[in-house]
Chain A
């Protein structure tokens, strides 16, 4: 069984973002970029499935600017076997990503697709369920445990009230939550080896997919800043403030 993961290059989670002066978007020039943390978890899970003998081959896909190929190399340094790079000038919207991934899935025929539950830039969290819907596949989002056996996958999901366990026949789609695994660091020898792994180029035209954006970003603004308050010296003062100034406790 092949396992396909989709990854996105995003502004590193530690970077404090800056909004462009003309409010047209968020500054991505000269900013540290990394693999979306949830996608790292997806890569790790795919690699582990291969190490355990469930996956025969692991493939990573990304849509992005030229430098996004470095993120694919990182995935291959973590253990992914080969990569598919689809060049795009600007961020694709989730529905387009889902449609393009559908074409790649039809071509590669993986038994499992693993994606991050959300990208930490757009925070939309929809490409995964959208792809599952388009494919007519079972989906298990927010996975915190994945077990494959006998042509089925059993997934423990993180839901609002706690945990839920689902089982689905393969092929299926999974999106990762934080506690599914701890992604490994790529070792230097593996980074060197990754440079020789196959990286295929495919265009959206090759896939027969038009970008057709449905959502137009009119502007991006800074949220209202919260004023830092005061430090209080002791518990008695804190309670006095909460009772008589903020009036939030009786």
Chain B
């Protein structure tokens, strides 16, 4: 066995999701190699080299990896993959974009979003918005896998001492161009890694209510802010706040659903949270069927009261 983990990073630091992916790799076995493909990302290669269990870091540094475009990254991964039995990445937007393409280039299937390792060739993955769990066995020579971050413990960020090896960029003539990005700026913890998530739904009624009602609560709890699809569609918050089957999957210690009815697509993204609190004026809302603690009432009275009593 020989495992390659594709790092998710921003050229300066490893994203927490990479730690979960290495955690999943550790469940599979050894040795573990981490691929850091980026531009001027030496600091990331160094950070990957000290992850416990990692024996080697492959560092591909080239301007063509500056924006993590799928075409050059998949070409690189596909070129390196034949040296490994397993190629893993976190099921982030990047992993979901690049890994299927790389798998196809190697003529192998992809096991998407696994939540458990049964054996070297058998894995569990959620289907139907997490309403069923499929146990799937792969007969491919190389197993391409994306990993659900919330299902695997992250490894520590120190303790390892891997060698960093430079690898050249793989030629790729496909002319996709990066134009720009608009990233949501936030001082808050990252949604998928936060210990507490405060999530709002359509009942908030406006972008302003997210600011004036939800944010003070998130401040008090040092929480990330999430949202239901309805709230995102209504334009109250940006797309990257969405929790659910097609948004982000979170599993914090505490998830507070405020004014969210609890469609199955939303529950798919948060029902593995340790403790769930629901605040909703409709006592029959499906969110209460998964909530440990439910409070029926007007969120515009309850949430400020909660903030006051937390002070």
Do A and B pair up? The answer is yes
Residues of A within 8 A of B (CB): 11, 13, 16-17, 19, 26, 38, 93-95, 98, 117-118, 120-134, 136-142, 144, 154, 158-169, 172, 177-179, 214-223, 226, 228-232, 234-236, 238-239, 241-242, 246, 248-249
**Does A223 lie within 8 Å of B132, measured CB to CB?**
yes
Complex-state Cα separation, A120 to B246, whole angstroms: 9
Complex-state Cα separation, A120 to B196, whole angstroms: 28
Question: Interface SS of chain A: helix, strand, loop or mixed?
Answer: mixed
Residues of B within 8 A of A (CB): 67, 69-71, 74, 92-94, 96-105, 107-113, 122, 126-140, 174-184, 192, 196, 221, 229, 232-233, 238-240, 245-246, 248, 253-254, 264-265, 271, 274-277, 283, 288-296, 302, 305-306, 309-310
Given contacts A118-B246, A141-B70, contact A162 B265 (CB under 8 A): no
**Does A246 lie within 8 Å of B240, measured CB to CB?**
no
Complex-state Cα separation, A164 to B93, whole angstroms: 11
By a CB distance below 8 angstroms, the chain A residues around B275 are: 242, 246, 248
**Does B246 lie within 8 Å of A166, measured CB to CB?**
no
**Does A125 lie within 8 Å of B240, measured CB to CB?**
no
Given contacts A129-B101, A223-B133, A231-B283, contact A246 B292 (CB under 8 A): yes
Name the contact of B295 in the complex, choosing from A19, A123, A231 (C-beta under 8 A): A231
Chain A residue at minimum C-beta to C-beta distance from B283:
A231
**Does B240 lie within 8 Å of A239, measured CB to CB?**
no
Given contacts A142-B93, A242-B254, A242-B275, contact A169 B175 (CB under 8 A): yes
Shortest distance from the beta carbon of A78 to any chain B beta carbon, whole Å: 20
Question: Interface SS of chain B: helix, strand, loop or mixed?
Answer: mixed
By a CB distance below 8 angstroms, the chain A residues around B271 are: 226
Complex-state Cα separation, A39 to B193, whole angstroms: 31
By a CB distance below 8 angstroms, the chain A residues around B177 are: 166-168
Which 6 pairs across A and B sit closest by C-beta, in order of nearness? A126-B100, A229-B292, A130-B104, A133-B101, A133-B104, A214-B109
Complex-state Cα separation, A23 to B8, whole angstroms: 35
Chain B residue at minimum C-beta to C-beta distance from A117:
B246
Chain A residue at minimum C-beta to C-beta distance from B8:
A160
Shortest distance from the beta carbon of A54 to any chain B beta carbon, whole Å: 19
By a CB distance below 8 angstroms, the chain A residues around B283 are: 231
